Amino acid sequence: MRGATDQGLELVMQKFYDINTAVTKYRLDTFFGVVNKQPEMSGIPLFNQVP
């Protein structure tokens, strides 16, 4: 299964059956990162730089 939260975190749940031990295992992974939504507020222009 795959889904996302309202905050943008992506979640993936996987089901795995181990045939040697006859046990079903579940794994939950989270994918996240950093996004710069307002690059104009990231710093100040230096010298003669044009934004």
pLDDT tens-place string over residues 1-51: 899 888 878 999 999 999 999 999 999 998 877 788 888 778 766 777 666
49 in a domain, yes or no?
no
Determine contact, residues 27/14, Cβ cutoff 8 Å.
yes
Please give the residue range of the domain that contains residue 29: 2-33
Q: Which of 4, 49, 48 is nearest to 13 (CA)?
A: 4
The answer to whether residue 26 sits within a structural domain is yes
Structural domain contains residue 20: yes
> Does residue 8 belong to any structural domain of this protein?
yes
Comparing CA positions, the residue from 8, 5, 14, 12 lying closest to residue 32 is: 8
- Looking at the 3D structure of the chain, how many domains does it have? 1
17, 24 contact by CB (below 8 A)? yes
* pLDDT at 6 (0 to 100): 86
